Every structure is written in structure tokens, then in C-alpha cells.
Amino acid sequence: MPKPNRKDSILDAALACITEVGADATTIEMIRERSGASIGSLYHHFGNKERILASLYFEGLRRYAERLDVNLAAAAQATECISALVTSYIDWVVENPDWARFILHSRGRIEAGEMGEQLKTINREHYVRLQTRLQTYREQGCFRDLPPECFASIIIGPAHDMARNWLAGRLSKNLVEYREMLAETAWLAVRATPDQPPQ
């Protein structure tokens, strides 16, 4: 396994600090001490604490999107694509609970910060990739006639809510145990109904 570079080490340290004391209480000095980086190196890579937080957020999104893209590329049917959207998210959350918790709780902060425009761009590009991947199935009439702005929320909304509850310790079972049920529910919610046959 390759040795983490200095930038990754700083992000890992930042996530550990945030997990222990929260984003507000985490300081540059705490991150520096935990990562073993010099102040000069830390400011060279990021500039300030808010940029560290934004970079941590973006890196989490990138890793999740990377997993999702691989799973979507392997999907050969509309139902498999919808399943991949749900299961990729659940699997990533279960494998990265601290990162997932940070992302779920920090979106507003990043959006309002100096790197908010970059977040909008990342989200827009992600949305376009998903729409492009699903377009063929949409043209084939595999999906219900739903408002485009509702489509993703209907698919991922229940899994997102369950993930929040699991991360907060409000579920008696591991989130992964709901994986297949949530994927099936998402497909049933968006598939073309009998009175709306494929075109």
C-alpha cells in the first residue's frame, strides 16, 4: 500500500481531530501536531482551516464518486443502475463513517465558505455525469415520468435518511443490512408503471 503523501496525512489528521472534538473546536495547531506537518507545509497545501475542511469534504466526495462511477459502469440494466446509486452510497458510508458524518454535517458550512463555488461546480458535474449515464434508460421509457429535480431525491433520499440515523446510533442493526431493501425500494419508486409502458 503506498505511503500517504503529506497532503493526505494532513487531511487524515483533520478528520481524526474533527471526529474527536468537532469541526469548530478543531484548530490548525491540533491538525499540525497530529499530522506531524510543519506550519509552513500546512499553509502551503491549504492556506487556512476552512480550506482544510473544504478539501476534506471534496476528497470525501471524490472517493465516493469514484466508487459510484465504477459500479455504474458495471451496471447493464436500468434496475442495476438504480441499485448502484443506493448500494454505492450505503457501502461508502459504512466503510467511512467518520468521513460520512463530517460530510453530512458540513455541507452548509462549505457552501457558505470561500470554496462554496467550487462545491457547486463539483455537484453540478456529478449531476451531469449521472444524468448522462441514465439518459439511455430514460429514452427507453424505463422510468416513470418524474420531475428531474425529484428523481435523485426519490432514489437516494431514504438511504440518506437511514444513514443519518445509523451514524447517530439510532438504528439497532448495521446500515448494510438495509442495503438490498433500500435499493429495491428505490427501483420500485422510479420504474415505469404498467399504465406508463416503455416508449
Three-state DSSP state, 15: helix
Q: Retrieve residue 174's grid coordinates.
A: 448495521
Side-chain-side CA neighbours of residue 50 (13 Å): 10
- Whole-model pTM? 0.90
Question: Which domains does the chain possess?
Answer: 1-47 (1.10.10.60), 58-190 (1.10.357.10)
Which pLDDT band holds residue 20 (cuts at 50, 70, 90)?
very high
Per residue in 135-151, pLDDT (tens digit) is: 999 999 999 999 988 99
Question: Contact 141/198 with Cβ under 8 angstroms?
Answer: yes
Q: Angle at the Cα of 117 (from 35 to 19), degrees rounded to 5?
A: 30
